[in-house]
């Protein structure tokens, strides 16, 4: 006799902001699915909609409020969570009909709010077969969050107010999650946090047993262990480090890249180069001799790609400060660069600094830094023409009128969503997203490479 399960309640999710928020969304949805909920791909089919907000910049807050408004207009039953959830009064003033508001990574509170808004219609046998965790990224890459919060007091940032002080995860828990992800098909692990270099400081780099040996909660030890993981096919996954502040111990991970244990890629949020501006920003590690260290890293691991982000128009930034940054970029020759115009954020110390930079000056400086970094990127990519590089495939196209199939992937110098791409011609029909193939580079532009799978 067949047993009918009751109709499952359905939850929709809108996830905004950084990869750390995306991981929060995955954990919330995984918890809800374990409680018997199904996921809805659209507003119409959802019994309740979750909006995971970003509250880092005023522009991000406006985007979050717009998303809440759209969810209310399309569905009407909305729960708000995430970084902007710390401003519950602002949200309720604009949208008094929201069902609940919770802050960042408050998983229990979100789940409880969903239970109240749409009680689960869980059947008696729904938990007999455990479900895999919900992933909001493609199967072949995954974000691995190693800590929450931050101990810094950067003048332009309110992350510690939104997400609290540094709280590192147990190293064995991180490694178990990574092992599980790789076993399930992940070919690329993207290690994220607010400050990856500070991992374990708050728990005094405590040791835990892993595979019959002790491992410290420390960035270098964690990176070395992640480099030992293997996919079911016996391949080493790519392991990419993000949000790495340039503390002295970062030097110790470069040899791991040269050995092939880590992807030769570092995402370092330099934010500026002018000592005067860095001091005003209250940036950590601004005394580091970064240019000398970049040279040393490239000597150890010639293929290392360094990405960073910079703020232009910070209060008090003079033309001389900005020119210092441009000259520094000429010397640093960073592979990937993002830039942001300074925005005042409610609660940030920078709002009280003198010397506000006019908007038109910010725009002009933004255009100049993007032109500078595009020229550097173009020259670096041109130098790769003729080389054969490993490329992870993200998407495979449909055959054109001649039957040729194209594909898009990324080299080890390219993180998903934020960096460039490698465009492939005439790939075999058997190629799948997540495959890692050797590609001969035939051409390049400012941000991308073009090539074909090597014979």
Instruction: Determine how many CB atoms are found less than 10 A away from the CB of residue 201.
Output: 16
Q: How far apart are CA 321 and CA 231, in angstroms?
A: 47
Residue 435 exposure: Cα atoms within 13 Å on the Cβ side: 16
Cα 448 to chain centroid distance, Å, stands at 20
* CATH code for position 84: 3.40.50.12160
The CA R_g of the chain, rounded to the nearest whole Å, is 23
* CATH code for position 429: 2.40.50.140
Q: How far apart are CA 253 and CA 388, in angstroms?
A: 25
Does 97 share its domain with 199?
Answer: no
Does 275 share its domain with 156?
Answer: yes
Structural domain contains residue 40: yes
Please choose, from the candidates 138, 91, 107, the residue with its C-alpha nearest in 3D space to the C-alpha of residue 35: 107
Pairing mode, strands 188-192 and 141-145:
parallel
Q: How far apart are CA 249 and CA 242, in angstroms?
A: 15
Structural domain contains residue 27: yes
Please choose, from the candidates 218, 220, 317, 325, the residue with its C-alpha nearest in 3D space to the C-alpha of residue 270: 325
Does 276 share its domain with 150?
Answer: yes
Q: How far apart are CA 282 and CA 277, in angstroms?
A: 9
Instruction: List, in order, residues 6 or more apart from 269 with CB less than 8 Å away.
Output: 243, 245, 308, 309
Q: Are 155 and 282 in contact (CB under 8 A)?
A: yes
Does 302 share its domain with 392?
Answer: no
Structural domain contains residue 1: no
Does 422 share its domain with 372?
Answer: no
Structural domain contains residue 15: yes
- Sheet of 100-101, strand order: 38-39, 10-15, 48-53, 78-82, 100-101
Please choose, from the candidates 186, 189, 200, the residue with its C-alpha nearest in 3D space to the C-alpha of residue 151: 200
Structural domain contains residue 136: no
Does 159 share its domain with 191?
Answer: yes
* CATH code for position 199: 3.80.30.20
The per-residue pLDDT for range 138-158, each reduced to its tens digit, is 789 898 999 988 766 665 665
Out of 335, 357, 382, a domain closes at 382
Q: Which residues pair with 39 in a beta bridge?
A: 11
- String of DSSP letters for 55-116: -SSHHHHHHHHHHHHHHHHHTS-EEEEEGGGGGHHHHHHH-TT-SEE--TT-HHHHHHHHHH
- Residue 404, domain extent: 388-453
Does 288 share its domain with 369?
Answer: yes
Q: Per-residue confidence of the chain (455 residues) as pLDDT tens digits?
A: 444 455 788 899 888 877 777 878 888 888 888 888 888 888 888 999 999 988 777 778 888 999 999 999 989 899 998 888 878 888 899 999 999 998 876 778 888 888 888 888 764 444 444 455 665 667 898 989 999 887 666 656 656 666 678 889 999 999 999 999 999 889 999 999 988 999 999 999 999 999 999 999 999 999 999 999 998 888 999 999 999 988 888 999 999 999 999 999 999 988 889 888 888 887 755 545 888 899 999 999 999 999 999 999 999 899 999 999 999 999 999 999 999 888 877 666 666 777 788 999 999 999 999 999 999 999 999 999 999 999 999 998 888 878 788 899 999 999 998 888 999 998 998 999 999 999 999 999 988 999 999 98
Does 446 share its domain with 407?
Answer: yes
- String of DSSP letters for 326-354: HHHHHHH--SEEEEEE----TT-GGGG-S
Q: Could you identify the residue written with the tokens 């905004």?
A: 16
Tokens at residue 93, please?
Answer: 């003033």
Q: Which residues pair with 197 in a beta bridge?
A: none
Q: Which residues pair with 49 in a beta bridge?
A: 12, 78
Quote the number of domains for the chain: 3
Q: What is the pLDDT of residue 2?
A: 41
Does 398 share its domain with 373?
Answer: no
Does 109 share its domain with 168?
Answer: no
Q: How far apart are CA 420 and CA 409, in angstroms?
A: 9
Q: What is the pLDDT of residue 368?
A: 95
Does 218 share its domain with 177?
Answer: yes
Q: Could you identify the residue written with the tokens 């509250």?
A: 55
- Long-range contacts at 374-377 (CB < 8 A, ≥ 24 apart): 374/446, 374/447, 375/446, 376/329, 376/330, 376/333, 376/334, 376/337, 377/335, 377/336, 377/337, 377/420, 377/446, 377/447
Does 262 share its domain with 185?
Answer: yes
Longest distance between any two alpha carbons in the chain, whole Å = 80
Structural domain contains residue 132: no
- String of DSSP letters for 179-223: HHHHHTT--EEEEE-S-GGGTTGGGTT-EEEETTEEEESSHHHHH
Out of 117, 150, 176, a domain closes at 117
Out of 350, 382, 414, a domain closes at 382
Structural domain contains residue 188: yes
Structural domain contains residue 113: yes
Environment class of 412 (CB within 10 Å of its CB; exposed 0-12, middle 13-18, buried 19+): buried
């Amino acid at each position: 006799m067949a047993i009918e399960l009751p109709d499952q309640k359905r939850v929709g999710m809108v996830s905004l902001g950084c990869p750390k928020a995306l991981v929060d969304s995955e954990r919330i949805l995984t918890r809800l699915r374990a409680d018997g909920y199904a996921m809805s791909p659209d507003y119409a089919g959802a019994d309740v909609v979750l909006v995971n907000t970003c509250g880092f910049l005023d522009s991000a807050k406006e985007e979050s409020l717009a998303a809440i408004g759209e969810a209310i207009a399309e569905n009407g039953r909305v729960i708000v969570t995430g970084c902007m959830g710390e401003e519950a009064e602002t949200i309720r003033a604009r949208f008094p009909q929201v069902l609940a508001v919770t802050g960042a990574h408050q998983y229990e509170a979100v789940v409880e709010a969903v239970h109240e808004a749409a009680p689960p219609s869980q059947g008696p046998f729904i938990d007999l077969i455990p479900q895999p965790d919900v992933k909001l990224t493609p199967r072949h890459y995954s974000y691995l969050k190693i800590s929450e919060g931050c101990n810094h007091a950067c003048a332009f940032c309110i992350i510690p107010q939104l997400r609290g002080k540094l709280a590192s995860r147990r190293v064995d828990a991180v490694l178990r999650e990574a092992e599980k992800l790789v076993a399930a098909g992940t070919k690329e692990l993207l290690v994220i946090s607010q400050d990856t270099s500070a991992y374990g400081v708050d728990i005094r780099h405590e040791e835990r047993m892993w595979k019959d040996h002790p491992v410290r909660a420390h960035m270098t030890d964690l990176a070395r262990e992640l480099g030992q993981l293997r996919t079911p096919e016996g391949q080493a996954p790519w392991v990419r480090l993000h949000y790495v502040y340039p503390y002295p111990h970062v030097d110790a991970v470069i040899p791991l890249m040269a050995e092939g244990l880590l992807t030769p890629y570092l995402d370092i949020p330099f934010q500026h180069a002018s000592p005067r501006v860095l001091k005003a920003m209250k940036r950590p590690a601004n005394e580091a001799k970064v240019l000398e260290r970049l040279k040393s890293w490239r000597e150890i691991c010639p293929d290392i790609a360094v990405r960073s982000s910079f703020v232009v128009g910070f209060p008090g930034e003079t033309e001389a400060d900005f020119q210092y940054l441009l000259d520094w970029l000429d010397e640093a020759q960073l592979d990937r660069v993002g830039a942001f115009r300074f925005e005042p954020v409610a609660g940030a110390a920078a709002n009280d600094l003198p010397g506000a930079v006019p908007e038109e000056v910010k725009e002009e400086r933004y255009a100049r830094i993007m032109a500078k970094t595009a020229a550097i990127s173009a020259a670096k990519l041109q130098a790769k023409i003729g080389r054969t590089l490993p490329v992870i495939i993200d998407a495979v196209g449909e055959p054109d009128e001649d039957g040729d199939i194209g594909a898009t992937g990324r080299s080890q110098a390219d993180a998903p969503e934020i960096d460039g791409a490698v465009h492939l011609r005439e790939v075999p029909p058997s190629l799948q997203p997540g495959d890692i193939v050797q590609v001969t580079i035939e051409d390049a532009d400012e941000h991308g490479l073009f090539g074909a799978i090597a014979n």
